[in-house]
Every structure is written in C-alpha cells, then in structure tokens.
A and B are shown apart, each in its own frame.
Chain A
Amino acid sequence: GQNIDQPTEMTATEGAIVQINCTYQTSGFNGLFWYQQHAGEAPTFLSYNVLDGLEEKGRFSSFLSRSKGYSYLLLKELQMKDSASYLCALAGAGSYQLTFGKGTKLSVIP
C-alpha cells in the first residue's frame, strides 16, 4: 500500500514564498503529482516529478527525493487566488491510478 502525509493547514502572506511538504511510504511508484483544488471544484494539475530533483513551472516548483520518500511544492510570489487545497498524489507502478494524500489547505492572507 501507499501512505502519504501532508500538513493539514498552512497560512502564508501575500507575496511570500511557501513550501508544502509531502512524505510518503510506498513499495514503488511511477511519479509524484501535485494538484491544486479550490473548494467545490475538481483538481487541476500543477506539476509532476519522476526523477529526483527540482521541476520549475513559473511560480510553482516541485522537488522529489525518492531515497528520502519526500517531496515539496514551492509557491513563490503568493497571490490571494493561491488559497486552495494542495494535493500530493502518487501514480502507482505501471498504473495510471492515483493515490492522494489528504491535502494541505493553504490560506493566503494580505
């Protein structure tokens, strides 16, 4: 099975940088995803890591360390619209199935 842990809630200030961590225990996986989900809406894709290292996409970056079972999502220049839940998810080995963490609710304050 897969066990994924994320902080439940975080608060950060507009314009700042925030790092959302995700730790996991799994026997194997294809890659690690980060999704953003606003309340009452479906998740939207943010980033994907399959190899160790940092993937940068504009204001969002994601890092993966397979040896440490650890990933983080870095959000820069926070905007109020970034207030949402951020879901860490693993794609199972040889499968499209996603296992989601419980999500981190980020609140951006002025």
Chain B
Amino acid sequence: GAVVSQHPSWVICKSGTSVKIECRSLDFQATTMFWYRQFPKQSLMLMATSNEGSKATYEQGVEKDKFLINHASLTLSTLTVTSAHPEDSSFYICSAPSGRITYEQYFGPGTRLTVT
C-alpha cells in the first residue's frame, strides 16, 4: 500500500527557534496533503491543507505566518514552525489522499515536537 513518511520522527528545540517537518509520499503523487496537530489526550485537529504549486489553506485560528507550509513538489510538503514556543509542543501528523473513491487518506507516522 501507499506510504507516507515524516521526518524527523521527534525533535526537541529551544524557544524562539524554527523547526521544519517534512512529509513525503513515497510511492504516489499527492497534489494535496493535510497537516494535523494533536495535543495529549485530544483528537486530531486539521491545521491546514497543503496544495502543490499554490498557497496552503489554513483552518480558522491557525497562524499562517507561524506555521509555514510549502508544497514544492508532488511528493513533498513541509511544515515549518517558526519562533517556536512551549505551547507549540505537540504531535504533528500529515496525510495524503489516496485518490480512491472511498476518500481514504494515508497518514504519516507523525512528528513529536517538544519546545523547551
């Protein structure tokens, strides 16, 4: 089956620094990818929709200048958390649509971000 990878799987950074998370579709092309955030014991919340070759679409309440999304190719989307703060510590998960009529998505393994 299709695989979506994320890198890094976990990262620790200091407050005020920026962190880049990569999401790759390994054996299929994805013109759209989704970025989710999940805080402990909570469900996944959609942050933004990443579109290849155009600007990302952000959900209400998500700061686009803080969470920079770049979808430079059909297999790669990146999320950069700028000027990170401890409250940005979370589990970040990307997904890509399968293209099937079932609207199934393939999820990456997630990236655990800890800001100290």
Contacts and interface: CB of A to CB of B under 8 A. Distances in A.
Interface stretch (B11-19, B75-83, B103-111): B103-111
A46 B39 CA distance: 22
A50 B46 CA distance: 22
A48 B46 CA distance: 19
A82 to B, nearest CB: 19
Nearest to A30: B103
Contacts of A44: 107
Contacts of B45: 100
A63 interface: no
Contact of A41 (B43, B102, B110): B110
B107 A33 contact: no
B43 A102 contact: yes
B104 A42 contact: no
Majority SS at the chain B contact face: strand
B112 interface: yes
Contacts of B104: 33, 45, 48
A40 B38 CA distance: 10
A87 B44 contact: yes
B42 A97 contact: no
B49 A97 contact: yes
Contacts of A45: 104-105
Interface residues of B, number: 21
Nearest to A8: B41
A47 B1 CA distance: 16
Contacts of A102: 42-43
Interface of B: 32, 34, 42-46, 49, 91, 93, 95, 97, 102-105, 107-110, 112
16 contacts: A30-B103, A33-B104, A40-B112, A41-B109, A41-B110, A42-B107, A43-B44, A43-B93, A45-B104, A48-B103, A87-B43, A96-B103, A98-B46, A100-B43, A100-B45, A102-B43
Interface of A: 30-31, 33, 40-45, 48, 50, 87, 91, 96-103
5 smallest A-B Cβ distances: which pairs?
A: A96-B97, A42-B107, A91-B103, A102-B43, A100-B43
